[in-house]
Chain A
Amino acid sequence: MQPGKGLLMIQFDTVHKRFPNGTTAVHDLTLEMPEGGVTVLVGSSGCGKTTTLRMINRMVDPTSGTIRVGGKDVLEQDAAELRRSIGYVIQQSGLFPHRTVVDNIATVPLLLGWGRRKARARAAELLETVGLSADTGKRYPHQLSGGQQQRVGVARALAADPPVLLMDEPFGAVDPVVRTQLQDELLRLQRELNKTIVFVTHDIDEAVRLGDRIAVFRTGGHLVQCAAPAELLARPADTFVADFLGAERGLKLLSLTTLAGVAKGPAPKGARWQLTLDPARKPLVWRDGESGTEIPVRPLRDTDSLLSALNESIAAPSGLVARVDADGVLTGVTSREDIHDRAGHVHSEASTVAA
């Protein structure tokens, strides 16, 4: 389950943060973040999740307790040098408006004294990594869309190839469609780069999508529960966590499971709703044999989630989900009942494992 070598990259040991105005932002936090994993910090505003993140690169210093990155106490390192060794992505306007995209990305390499040519070459390479065209490099941040700016932000954080990446609500200011794209890109990048990522969000769906582990914080800086998404969704530690996960947490759990392994059979002959295929045997529509009405079909692959299968089983008039292979060719259909059975099974399995 846990990616990477299982080493602990970031360790919080009884960390306390009280601000001069008397508010406690983080209360007695002990938390470990494994190398190569994505740890998502969630909670409502004022719960201390951002302060926790900012203590890792000393944007905030703890009142007491110890934070170690790669085994070394952060307070014993020069703050500026520590920050150069840790990638940092913030919401929206964190880019330098007076520097071109390439020069924005080259920020940390230049601070590390790489020299302009090498830093720019690295920046150009990263443009491609984050899915931006080469000519984007000459533009200024205000000439880009919100989504493009966020990609530049990620590229800038990756420039010096730091082992740790801190992301403070990086996708909070973009529209939902772009946000989903950026999340997918981050997951793709993470499969290639295997960074230790600490990600702050207040969006539980984002946390479930991205996190290998999710840490839920409560107002006053208390860590309530830290667990893998499936475990968190199936067995919330208390009513606070359960409420935070929301009434659909059972469905969210299904979003973590794929269709693979769910039984399928041949499309039934002679039923009222017939699945129409094109010559390449790719599903086209559900056709009503009596009235000729056609309803669109959304065929699913084995890698699609059980949640999308449940959705399609409700949307399809026959209650059948069309299954296809990677090329989109029909492999069979699955009934609403089979999907329900599987969903119930996933749920009870998650709730009882190692309880």
Chain B
Amino acid sequence: MSVDWSWIADHTDDLTALTLSHLQAALTAVLLGLLVSLPLAVVAHRVRRLRGLLLGLSNVLFTIPSIAVFVLLLPVSGLTRTTTVIGLTIYTLVVLLRNTVEGLDSVPAKTKEAAKAMGTRPLRTLLTVELPLALPVIMAGVRIATVMAISLVSVATYIGDGGLGQLFTDGFQRNFPTPVIVGVVLTLLLALVADALLVTLQYVLTPWTRRQKQGA
């Protein structure tokens, strides 16, 4: 199984386009997942009776095979990027919702009480105290969800999308290993780079978690 380097050189434009399309599908799904899970997590955190229901529901959605999700979505959104993104979003929910709820749970009761006693109203407490303090746990979820979404995009090849996943079907159909290998390598690289960027983002957003003394 050798790599045909000239094929790579001839297809750099295609590869770039596929990589960008792949990344765009994954990131859109994670962002949508966050938008959906944030309010749901706040509800699950505040209303104990709904917590089990919401977390259970996200677990059930996660167990549906990914191809089945795309097939089920076809009558709704057809063979489009929308279908890919919705499908991926559903998968990100399980980690994002769970981690956001756990992040909110991890905020010390004393800190919330202090915010209230200073005269902070509930919405402002959520935005300026609870969510920032929950950020490390939420970001752990975002990292898992991002890597997961990047690896899952390929499945959407079955509905004519799939970003780098198209390289797998292409190589398989032609019994030509180079696109498959390139697809795997690029997917891995994407996941690694995205994860590194998220770690950096978290470092920038949570200065209080750094160990060393601030410049005295």
Contacts and interface: CB of A to CB of B under 8 A. Distances in A.
Contact of B214 (A85, A93, A107, A143): A143
For chain B, give the interface size range: 20 to 34
Given A57-B117, A81-B119, A143-B213, A98 B133 contact: yes
Interface in B179-216: 206-208, 213-216
Contacts of A130: none
A98 B206 contact: yes
B116 interface: yes
Most B CB contacts (10 A, CB to CB) among A59, A100, A140 go to: A140
B22 to A, nearest CB: 35
Q: Is the interface of B mostly helix, strand, loop or mixed?
A: helix
Contacts of A224: none
A92 B115 contact: no
A142 interface: yes
A99 to B, nearest CB: 8
B129 A96 contact: yes
B215 A83 contact: no
Contacts of B207: 140
A95 interface: yes
Given A135-B216, A143-B213, A84 B111 contact: no
Interface in A145-194: 156
B214 A138 contact: yes
Contacts of B213: 139, 143
A314 interface: no
A108 B118 contact: yes
Contact of A94 (B111, B119, B120, B132): B111
A90 B110 contact: yes
Given A83-B116, A111-B120, A98 B132 contact: yes
Contacts of B110: 90-94
A107 B216 CA distance: 23
Contacts of B114: 88, 90, 94-96
Contacts of A277: none
A97 interface: yes
A197 to B, nearest CB: 16
A226 B210 CA distance: 48
A92 B113 CA distance: 12
A100 B113 CA distance: 18
B121 interface: yes
Contacts of B121: 80
A139 B117 CA distance: 23
Contact of B120 (A57, A80, A93): A80
Contacts of B116: 59, 83
A111 B118 contact: yes
Nearest to A157: B118
B119 A140 contact: no
Interface in A20-47: none
Contacts of A111: 118-120, 124
B212 to A, nearest CB: 9
B108 A93 contact: yes
A199 to B, nearest CB: 15
A108 B117 CA distance: 10
B172 to A, nearest CB: 50
Contacts of A81: 119
Interface in A64-87: 80-85
Nearest to A94: B114
Contacts of B133: 97-98
Nearest to B115: A96
Most B CB contacts (10 A, CB to CB) among A59, A97, A135 go to: A97
Contacts of B115: 96
B111 A142 contact: no
Nearest to B132: A98
Nearest to B216: A135
A40 to B, nearest CB: 19
B15 to A, nearest CB: 42
Given A83-B119, A96-B115, A108-B119, A138 B206 contact: no
Given A59-B113, A98-B133, 6 more contacts: A85-B119, A96-B111, A97-B208, A107-B118, A138-B214, A156-B118
Interface of A: 57, 59, 80-85, 88, 90-100, 107-108, 111, 135, 138-140, 142-143, 156
Interface of B: 108, 110-111, 113-121, 124, 129, 132-133, 206-208, 213-216
13 contacts: A80-B121, A81-B119, A88-B118, A95-B111, A96-B114, A96-B115, A97-B108, A97-B208, A98-B133, A100-B214, A107-B120, A111-B118, A111-B119
